[in-house]
Amino acid sequence: MSPWPWSKPPSDARQVEALRARLDKDAADLPLDELFPVLVPASFFSLGNWPGPFALLALPGLAITWAVFQAEQTMRYVDHRMGAYWDSQSIDWRARALENVRRTSLEHPWTHEFRRDDGRLFAVAMMHPDGIGPARLLLHGNLEAAFPEGYLVGVPERSCGLALSVRATDAEKAKLQDLAANCHRNGTAPVLDGFYPAAGLAVSS
């Protein structure tokens, strides 16, 4: 079940109030169950002034950071003070964040399936209501089970993750490429166009 099962978006005023309420909270008071990884454009960190931990991924142009979900569809990015506190408590908070993705994706690891006439799966899309669908691409076990022959990944927009079987036909590839291009072109926060090897989601050395 999604951690953000809202029926309608909150007002801007309510979102600002929720953000302000959490900004003053110490890391000890922030719920680890609401900590999640977030895939973002690497350009977020190009100026060198990002206030918290992040990692560039092997796939050029893509990076990972972390955030704590808050009320009213808001999130607070993890800053260095928060990370240092959890480290001091011997909390593997990055692993905890990934486990939270796994926990909230048990029923719905993806939101859309693309199947052949015979029912075989050739692609999935992750457009979850919590806005971090691409984080489900980090759940390699789910995707390897769905595509044992291998798969490619796409992150056309910050709220959209795609996985495509390496054995997809040309027509199937074209269908997903059109979807990815449309999301990248019309999305509010475009990330990468096209599909790439899943190994690109590893942290760059």
| DSSP, residue by residue, 126-146 | E--TTS-GGGGGG-HHHHHHH
Distance CA 164, CA 177 (A): 10
The percentage of residues in the chain with a pLDDT greater than 70, rounded to a whole number, is 86
Task: Using pLDDT thresholds of 50, 70 and 90, give the confidence band for residue 9.
Answer: low
Mean pLDDT value across the chain: 89
Contact 56, 40 (CB under 8 A): no
pLDDT at 205: 63
Angle 35-14-187 (CA atoms, 0-180°, nearest 5)?
A: 65
- pLDDT given for residue 121 in this prediction: 98
Q: Are strands 55-56 and 62-70 parallel, antiparallel or unpaired?
A: antiparallel
- Check whether 11 has a pLDDT greater than 50: no
Q: If you average pLDDT over residues 140-164, what whole number do you get? A: 97
Most distant pair of Cα atoms in the chain: their distance: 55
Residues 154 and 181 sit within 8 Å (Cβ to Cβ):
no
Q: What is the pLDDT of residue 74?
A: 84
| Res. 139: pLDDT tops 70 | yes
Backbone angles phi, psi at 179, to 5 degrees: -65, -45
The pTM of this model reads 0.86
Give residue 26's pLDDT: 78
C-alpha distances (whole Å) from 45 to each of 49, 52, 53, 62, 200 are 7, 10, 10, 10, 18
pLDDT value at 1 more than 60? no
The pLDDT confidence band at residue 7, using thresholds 50, 70 and 90, is very low
Name which of 26-35, 54-63, 94-103, 177-186 the model is least confident about.
26-35
* pLDDT attached to residue 27: 83
Separation between Cα atoms, residue 10 and residue 13, nearest integer Å: 8
Percent of the chain with pLDDT over 90: 81
- In the chain, where are the structural domains located? 12-104, 112-201
